[in-house]
A and B are shown apart, each in its own frame.
Chain A
């Protein structure tokens, strides 16, 4: 059962990565189209900037929700990496609870803001902004679940997340 769940987790993780890579490809391809249209065809297209900026927004928030591993986050880990594993578990629980509570409290207001944005549409493609912005809700809910899970595991005595500054991007 446990291994089935883990396998499902890995499978979902890979699909989430597929989504992020697709977003990046779309962004990149649209940029090429934009440059080609503006400088070669001399007919600038307006929709491209909107597609690009949307894929950027989604890449950041989608990625932060689903593809970034704990070891790949940018954090201040001088203290965290110097303390014992037990203390580190306490740290994980404390920060986890703080994040879950604060993100949880603000979730209804965030939802209200995003759904309110349905009154506006994007300039070129006329897409209601709440559709573009709904990724924030996905992000918030995913973070709350993730930190609940991390805190739960830390309480249960699982090894707290490792940090590996050498693998951080700049």
Chain B
């Protein structure tokens, strides 16, 4: 009997340690050390890869800043004011608060890069509004909040897209632009779903807001509405890099909630910073683990051999994309999104390149797919967050979320088959792909 190769043992170790409940970042680091040990390489390589990797990836700095911006907006009253404004826009249709939920998430998506932060920030308020006097079933309110939150990282800015840019060497700016159309498509799809369900179940219409109130509500929301404008003009006017844009967004959120709205105490500010610090750390550990593990994968030449194997087969780009989508949707039911993005997706990238698939197209498809994974049971982070927030059983939320999940898979299928739906906007900005 031959001894299994160090790489096989490394994979076994990651799966075993991870399945037994060790945090994924630590599992990857520990298993990679095992690999170095078995193949007789320098054990200091693990430290070297983590330290140099973190020290040289300046683009990653956008992550803590986008997390901070979202947290600051949630402690300030920006979210409340935005929801009031959305009520003016779409409250008067049947199922009005459902539409408010989706539209607020689309606008919010233009400021924050994190689906969880959006779900928590918007959900905290709108679920109360929706379930007051039993107007909507609690599970439905939770389900639509969870579903609408996936738009957050698809419409720019987006933390998963920053991670994808890191692993694929594509431009963050073009990836962000590529997310606009799919994000809006999802918003429309969710509003259609909400309208259909609302008509069938006779959900309420919001009392119309008197016309003389509208300017006041708009003015109150104005500073919040300016944030996406500043951010996007900054980045696409060529003034700032996306990372600096993230810093400017966080600074603006701080300025708006402290100076303009005066809604933040020192204690809240400290807590927001601490929450952001923790979020940064836990995602940073995953990145650190992925850096060592991807080094191992590169030594073993896995992505390249997969690429040559795949391009040797008569595999059309479309078949490859569909296969990747199915694999990622299945993985999305079991694993957390950033893990898939940092560990599994790098293996596919060389093949995608070899098959002539545009990497911006591929990236946006992958991000949309992984966001749907936040909604699919048994392991869907957004489901957990909303089940926890609404005190509903997970199953009830899943049942109500099902039509939304199906609609988002439909959107995913369209953007997979029609690359132009993603690429025309980046091309308008000079993307040559």
Contact = CB atoms under 8 A, between A and B. Distances in A.
A78 B379 contact: yes
A39 B46 contact: no
A170 B279 contact: yes
A20 B64 CA distance: 12
B244 interface: yes
Contacts of B20: 79-80, 91, 94-95
Give the interface size bracket for A toward B. Answer: 35 or more
Interface residues of B, number: 78
Contact of B33 (A21, A35, A92, A102): A102
B392 to A, nearest CB: 12
A9 to B, nearest CB: 18
Interface string A59-90: 11111100110001111111110000000100
Contacts of B188: none
A56 interface: yes
A61 B117 CA distance: 23
B46 A98 contact: no
Nearest to A168: B381
B285 A20 contact: no
B69 to A, nearest CB: 10
Interface stretch (B49-57, B398-406, B415-423): B49-57
Interface string B323-362: 0000000000011111100000000000000000000000
A112 interface: yes
Given A28-B247, A31-B244, A102-B34, A109 B43 contact: yes
Given A74-B283, A166-B388, A32 B21 contact: no
Contacts of A106: 33, 36-37, 43-44, 46-47
A142 interface: no
Interface in B16-61: 17-26, 29-30, 33-34, 36-37, 42-44, 46-48, 50-51, 54-56, 58, 60-61
B278 A72 contact: yes
B68 interface: yes
A84 to B, nearest CB: 13
Given A60-B54, A76-B335, A169 B23 contact: no
B256 to A, nearest CB: 15
B18 A75 contact: yes
A170 B115 contact: yes
Interface stretch (B169-177, B216-224, B268-276): B268-276
B311 interface: no
A52 B104 CA distance: 32
Interface in A105-162: 105-106, 108-110, 112-114, 132-133, 136, 140, 143
A59 B250 CA distance: 17
Contacts of A105: 33, 37, 43
Contact of A20 (B61, B159, B274, B282): B274
Given A53-B58, A94-B20, A99-B22, A34 B30 contact: no
A52 to B, nearest CB: 6
Contacts of A62: 281
Given A102-B30, A132-B55, A170 B159 contact: yes
Contacts of A31: 61, 65, 244, 247, 251
B86 interface: no
Interface in B200-251: 239-240, 244, 247-248, 250-251
A151 to B, nearest CB: 11
A102 B389 CA distance: 39
Contact of A59 (B33, B239, B280, B334): B280
B22 A75 contact: yes
A122 B251 CA distance: 28
